[in-house]
Structure 1
Amino acid sequence: MENRIKSSLPYEKLFDYIKADTVVTEEDVKNEFIKKNNKADAKIIFFDPKKITVVQVSDEEIKKYYEEHKEDYKKDPAAKLKYVRLQLKPSEADKQITKAKIDSLYEVIKKGADFAELAKEYSQDPGSAKKGGSLGYFGRGRMVPPFEEKAFSMKIGEISEPIETRYGWHIIKVTGRRKNKKGEEEVEASHILLKPEPSEKTKENLAIIAEDLFEKAKKEGIEKAAEELGYKTEETREFYKNATYIPGLGRAPELVKFAFSKKTGAIHEPIQQKQGDYIIAEISEKLGEHYQPLEDVTQAIRRKLEKEKKVQQVIEQAQEFVGKFKPEDYLAEAKKEGWDIVEAKDITEDKYISKIGKIENLNKAILEKEENEYTELITSDKGAFIAFIEKRVKPDMEKFEKEKEKLLEEAQKNAENARLNEWYRELKEKAEIEDNRSMFYNF
């Protein structure tokens, strides 16, 4: 115990040092109390930009925006890979082995063996195997076509010969039939599923093919080598040096490191992925700092400019609305014109309002008003708003005086914990950590 206390003392001193400059004052706690307890209920007229259905954005406007905001589309150095994925799949011989197994099971069932017990022992459908193969009742459209067609053609108690679907080989037993509330036919069935699986020989053959493709690609390039051997070449989207995942390939830290340490055209030796597939990759393109081409960002810019135009139009319509009507008529007239009226309860300075979001100047304007008052027209990049205040709740400062010591203690503790977390984060950011997990683990 004494040693444990001694070993913990340096940590306590460090934490005390880090927390020493964290001071929460009574004024801080008071302001937070007011912020949380200053509330209002309101009906908010929402001049929603989505009500504007048509706006026009020209190609010239898109190009002008792109040129004026080109730095927004600047990208760090990136790379692309061309690759071939050699999928590990059961061979025809593997499939025949599975077919022989399912045929043997079928013969045993025909001789009177318990279907449910065999399903529990042999079926490779984890969801139904533990229930004796039971799939319950199902209607048409729930199962893959060959399975459904067979099940709906069978009588209660009948057991099918093995049938093949994309999942493998099935033996089906129909245990019930009925019509649901809509009058549609349903079948109750159980099944035993055996899935063809790649044998060791199939895995060895794939490894040999991967090595052959790699050797050929080193001489001819991956595209030509793949074409000659009858495989398809794909290309990733660009990715960056700090990437965790490569588009199309998933988690591949070894290939990320390769792409940024070798030259264009370099071929990586075959990498076996977790599911058994092999990847052979070539660095197809390396980009320094660069700008996304206009054609790649045109649609994003178009959407942005369309949204801005809709917001501007809806603000203009809201301004016309304010000019046409008296405040006491706002709610009724807004309803007539088809604008949304959002009812919000317990609005605070930080409250997220359903259907609207968190708009700081709207919340602030609401809390500056008293009951039965309207705010001015509030505008933002989400539209325009007028709020009618139905109820106001002011902070109970007597309650604050009674609870301030407890609140101060809690606030101090929270602030110290936040400071410690900030220190940890800063320490981690400054630390030079190299990720070498790929040397020890096959991700």
Structure 2
Amino acid sequence: MRYIFRKTCMAITLLLMSMLTLTAQDNVVDKIIAVVGNQVVLKSDVETRFLQLQAQGYTSGSVDLKTEIFEDLLIQKMMIAQAAIDSVEVTEQEVENDLERKMQMYVQRIGSKEKLEQFYGKSLLEMKNDLRDDNRNELIKERMQAEITKDIHITPAEVREFYNKMNKDSLPMIAGKLEVQQIVRYPQVTDDEKDRIRNRLRGFRDRVHNGENFATLAVLYSEDPGSARQGGELGYMPRTDLVPEFANVAFNLKTDKVSKIVETEFGFHIIQFIDRKGERINVRHILLKPKIEEAKREQASSRLDSIADLIRSEKLEFDEAAFYFSADKDTRNNGGLIVNPYTGSSKFEKDNLPPAIAQQVNTLKINEISEPFLDVSGGKDAYKIIKIKSETKAHAANLSDDWSIFENMLTSKKQQDILNKWIKDKQANTYVHIDDSYKNAKFRFKGWIK
């Protein structure tokens, strides 16, 4: 069974990273190949996505791949046109927040912001700019789909009937999942090193006051590799996307003014205001990261070693140790339990764990405590010990253990049935013009050609 809308959304999500490096649209002689209501589909839209899908190794099923892409775009444009009529909207802040969430997901997957920017040869700001329009359209389509299918209701009896009718030889396989707890210690920076960094930043600030260009200094000296290439510019960002210490200063700056020195979890900054649009601000910054002495690294690791021994000797529960000793504010209050950014739950497939943690997991059994190790995936050096709290093995889905799987499958089926009917109804009373090059295309829905 094909759930075309879920498939399209997932495909676009998976392709976001490959889209960042492709510039195929610059090489396409563009033209309008369809009009749906007041929306247009460009040839470059199809060609670019075709190249992206090919790069991902995707092949089409029963229809030509370009036709499949084209029809998915027709459906998207129909929904966007209807969303405008029904006043179904997304805000710019929602678009920015969703882009930021996806960027953070990719940062965690690849290991660090620096690695992501190095791999694609672009700053996070450039990546966001490349993806913003497509992301906005996808969010509008998703919201319109939700509006169309909002009245679906699933009963337990329907779920059981759905499960009983399934071929038991084709039940989905459920991947093994883990829950992981952590205790984190950050190696301390000496006061002398902090003073050295502050004095250097004061020097930069004096140079700007004496007429030197802030952006040039950022390119030369900032240790934020993504923004440094852009003269330290971060792009328009809401307060929620900035760490509080940085945001509190940045949002109170006036045009061209340079801030006092700001200390955050990433290091020390000076900030220059560029512009503000509503609740979003654009600033430049210069970041310097203090150097950590080897003795301080050994101290953090040794402290974790002692904590691990207390837990292993049952003098302290892991949850208690996390509360009293962990320096990670996001996990210390829930026993050190790490939340999966992809799902919002505490369960991970191994492939979705941060690389340093995944490497440790491979050598641990449930309830064993790891040796201290270094993890730099969060943008700063962190020493950790971890424990696997629980593990479920891979298995064929069954109703008692995986009720939500079948409930979601049935919900998706009902949604798809409603969406299919909606498309057919809208095809009949929406203005649609298809370019002659697609007159003989084998579409899934037959009502595009009139």
Higher RCO (C-alpha under 8 Å, 6+ residues apart): 1
As a proportion of its length, which structure holds more helix? 2
TM-score using structure 1 length? 0.46
As a proportion of its length, which structure holds more strand? 1
